[in-house]
Structure 1
Amino acid sequence: MGRLHALGATLTLLLALSTEVPAAASDEIVTPVPAGFTSWEELFAEQGRLNDALAAIRRTADQVGDRGYGSAIADPTAHALTLYWAGEIFPAVRQAIEAQRDIVPINVYAAQYSENELVAEVQRLGKIAAFHVVAPKPDASGITIEWAAGRVDPGAKAHALTTSPIALTFGAESAASSSVPLSRQDDGTPYKGGARTRTCTAGFAVNHTSGTKLLFAGHCGSNGTTVVDGGDDVMGPMAGDNDTRDVAYISVLSAGEMWDGGPQSTLFKPVQDATNSVIGNNTCTSGSRSGVRCGVIVKAVNTSISGKTPLVMGEQIDHTNAAGQGDSGGPVFELGTVAGKVRAKGIISTGATNAPATCTGETVDRSCFWRIYWADVNRTMAYYGGMGIRVS
């Protein structure tokens, strides 16, 4: 019995140290002083008063538990402090604002979101590889997102728009036609089923009580293993490892989609739902090294292979490749009842060494098989509990 994994490699993480450059003294500043000021000292003095006023107001808000602060603009050229506040301002905070108005002009406007809400969502969205810059709008009315160079990804955009409680604005997508799209070989958050990892293939995306995950094969690592994608980016830690069932999951932001086509594909399909593997079913596999392979017929269920159980046995109808090394953890699926969608059926586990086949996709230094075994996706989710397939 041959496990469908490739040889591992060492991940080197390089950290760059930045060097701070001392600020220039005012007599070294050659940039002209903005209109309305006679010197940089005058400008910075006014700016300091604005900043100090804001700090005093925020201290009061913290003391009384008012979490409505959204944003502020302290522009000395505007000669005023502008505050954006979400919800009703506490009386003590109003008093602090009035006290500071004796020192500087202050304008107060309603904010759509609090700073806490914006910061939490910026941190979540900032983990999506396709997003280069994720920043709150100055008036706390939402979040602006700029694409990473060459990584315009409609799937990532759709995921962000449907999952974010914050209003999102995306930068221009004029570079989309000339961009290098994400691919099965170098996916990014939110990750899709069938994406390449350093040693294996990512399985279907699931919702879990502790956040989104990707199902995975247990023999691809162990609890705490850092899973790396095909582009050497860290995906997240492996958890829930059960070597008897040969299942695990990766804690990572994931999408209800699956990579389709060959190993170099840039195409993916939405997941409709999950369905059991039943004897006689026709299925397909989507390994990151072999690509999509169909005509795999379910021959037995509840099997035990070298102590691994309960697994499903499938055989490719004409004894060509069903899956091979490096495909472990990848999706087993069938076409959905909704056009263009797929139904999740399993997580590729292992291949029978007495059923060798010529590899498809990547053909060098790997073995492939016409008889394979997989963990049923519904039984796996039930085993973990609090888990459901992510759909799109």
Structure 2
Amino acid sequence: MNTPRLRRLAVAMGIVLAVAGTGSAGAASAPDPVKPRVTGPVEHTGPVPGGYASWKDLLLDQRKMVEAAGRITAALRRNGDGYAGVIAAPENRELRLYWKGKPPGYIDGLVGSLRRDVAISVLPARYSARELEREANRLIRENSGVLTSIAPSQDGSGLTASTASLGAARTAISGAAVPVTLEHGVRPELSSRWDDSPPWWAGGAWGVNGGPAICSTGFAVTYLGASKLLSAAHCASVGQTATDPTGQVIGPVTHVSLPRDLLLIGTNSGGRVFNNPINANGNAIVSTEYSNPVIGTSSSVVGLFVCTSGAFSGTNCNIRVTAVNVTINVGYLLFGMVQAEQQAHTNAAGQGDSGGPVEVVNPSNTTQVFATGSVSAIDTSTSVACTGYVTSGRICAWRMYYSPWSNVTGAFPGIAIIPG
């Protein structure tokens, strides 16, 4: 088959990275059109952090930490009581909880209970998460032409902002109510299996109204009593029709949440994800393809190891969450995003992977995954060689941004994952 061709789509003050048809991208090696129901492992590679004997051992501890963090954040009352953030540090074998002031009794009791299974350190924070969020929102709204992203530090110490204009940014943050660390040069930009069929799976290629593939399908869900597929809002608009690269109709775009970069496609969807085995750098080997069942969802915390599986790049792993609740400016603002980095500085995601699945491997069975989010954007200042099915004519990066599961449930209340 012929591969999609590429272009950049200008949007307001930024550039939306999508794949569409202007210049040739070169031939892609298309997978077998027969849906690969055989499973294979989704594996992290390379040295295991923290002296663990295996990635499985690390992932088992990570899973306990993520579940404990979810219990803590779910228990927070309306004002947060001084909560600043959590960091999963499996390499130190502990979950770190940061709090401004003395944690209330209900949190002390919960932490005491959780410590039966997870080592938790409670550490002091200078600012609460709510204080940092308020100041972050003020700064980026008042300086949207200067700041490209802003995120709270999970230890409650302040904010980290990125900019393409260091001098202007220094002026912009001069009156900030909290400390702000500036990163110069960070440029967030919105980022197929090529012949899928119903029930449609996550990680397949799709386009609009019979056009070339530009994005990737996300996880299968149910919403308002109907079966849907997730993807990225910058890929299409409500009323447009999603089609696969052969022109087969997937279904109509029924719902869009632009501030969280999420959309829903109405279709017959199934709870599996296309994946590939990976090489020593954690990047896809596209000569072999299989699929894996989704068994649930995972929240995102700093320190979490995830994998991506976009239609263009294939499966990439060894990607670690470095910031949560990030606001990024791509010509308009995206809220509640997660920043993550491929640890060997090879491809994490690229053009055409937008909307594709972000997954966490089940440590007890590496042929199963947890739905974690939807690929949204990349930092083009960290561009690297692309991997996967299309390696030329597009941009890939080792730092990427995704819309987490908490954004999915916030945008579409009552939504539920379809298990495989």
TM-score by length of 1: 0.54
The SS at the match of 1:380 is helix
1:323 aligns to what? 349
| CA deviation string 1:277-332 (max 9, x = no partner) | 11000111001110100111101111111111110001111211100000000000
Kept in 1, the 8 Å contact 2:35–2:196? The answer is no
Q: What residue number does 1:346 align with?
A: 373
Other-structure match for 2:223: 208
Q: 1:7 aligns with which of 15, 20, 30?
A: 20
The letter of the residue matching 1:315 is E
Give the Cα separation in 1 of the matches to 2:303 and 2:35: 41
Equivalent residue, structure 1, for 2:411: 383
- 8 Å CA contact 1:275, 1:378 repeated in 2: no
The letter of the residue matching 2:298 is T
User: One-letter code of the match for 1:352?
Assistant: D
Per-residue CA deviations over 1:184-226 (Å, capped at 9, x if unaligned) read: 2110000011011121000011122231111110000111111
CA contact (8 A) 1:286 1:332 kept: yes
- 1:236 corresponds in structure 2 to 251
Moved over 3 A (4+): 1-4, 150-155, 262-266
Give secondary structure in 2 for the equivalent of 1:235: strand
Q: Name the CA distance, whole Å, in 2 between partners of 1:355 and 1:244.
A: 24
Q: Relative contact order (alpha carbons < 8 A, sep ≥ 6): 1 or 2 greater? A: 2
Residue 187 of structure 2: aligned partner:
none
Shift in Å, 1:266: 3.9
Is the alpha carbon distance of 1:235 and 1:8 closer, same or farther for their aligned partners in structure 2, counting shifts above 3 Å?
farther
Alignment of 1:154-165 (within 5 A): none
Residue in structure 2 matched with residue 191 of structure 1 by the alignment? 200
Does the 8 Å contact 1:3/1:328 carry over to 2?
Answer: no
Task: Pick closer, same or farther for the CA change 1:242–1:251 going to 2, 3 Å.
Answer: same
Which structure's CA Rg is the greater one? Answer: 1
CA distance in 1, matches of 2:16, 2:373: 16
Question: Do residues 251 (structure 1) and 266 (structure 2) align?
Answer: yes
Distance 1:375 1:152, change over 3 A: closer
SS in 1 for 2:381: coil
- Contact persistence 1:221–1:238 (CA under 8 A): yes
Q: Note closer, same or farther for the CA distance 1:328–1:211 as it changes in structure 2 (3 Å cut).
A: same
Q: Secondary structure at the match of 1:7?
A: strand
Tell me: CA distance 1:4–1:389, structure 2 relative to 1, closer, same or farther (3 Å): farther
TM-score after normalising by structure 2? 0.51
Structure 2: 5+ residue runs without aligned partners?
A: 1-13, 23-32, 39-191, 207-212, 277-283
Partner residue, 2:293: 270
Q: Which moved more, 1:378-387 or 1:359-368?
A: 378-387
Is 1:224 aligned to 2:239, yes or no? yes
Q: Which residue of 2 aligns with 1:294?
A: 317
In the TM superposition, residue 153 of structure 1 has moved relative to its aligned partner by 7.3
Report the count of equivalent residues. Answer: 225
- Cα shift readout 1:1-43 (whole Å, capped 9, x = no counterpart): 764420158xxxxxxxxxxxxxxxxxxxxxxxxxxxxxxxxxx
**Identity, % of aligned positions:** 36
Matches within 5 A, 1:1-392: 3-8=16-21, 184-197=193-206, 198-261=213-276, 262=284, 265-306=288-329, 307-339=333-365, 340-361=367-388, 362-392=390-420
Q: Residue 303 of structure 1 aligns to a residue in which SS? A: strand
The answer to whether the 8 Å contact 1:4/1:327 transfers is no
Q: Measure how far apart 1:391 and its partner are.
A: 0.5
Matched letter for residue 199 of structure 2: P
* TM-superposed deviation, 1:353: 1.5
Q: Residue 205 and residue 371 in structure 1: after superposition, are their counterparts in 2 closer, same or farther (change >3 A)?
A: same
The structural deviation recorded for 1:363 is 1.0
**Whole-Å Cα distance in 2 between the matches of residues 363 and 194 of structure 1?**
17
**Equivalents in 1 of 2:16, 2:35: separation in Å?**
36
C-alpha contact 2:260 2:411 (8 A) present in aligned 1: no
Q: Residue 377 of structure 2 aligns to which amino acid in structure 1?
A: T
Q: Is the 8 A contact 2:37 2:291 kept in 1?
A: no
1:152–1:244 CA distance, 2 compared to 1 (3 A) = closer
Q: How much is the aligned-residue C-alpha RMSD, in angstroms? A: 2.0
Distance 1:2 1:298 in 2: 24
Alpha-carbon displacement from aligned partner over 1:157-194 (angstroms, at most 9, x marks no partner): xxxxxxxxxxxxxxxxxxxxxxxxxx821100000110
Question: Is residue 219–residue 371 contact of structure 2 (8 Å, CA) maintained in 1?
Answer: yes
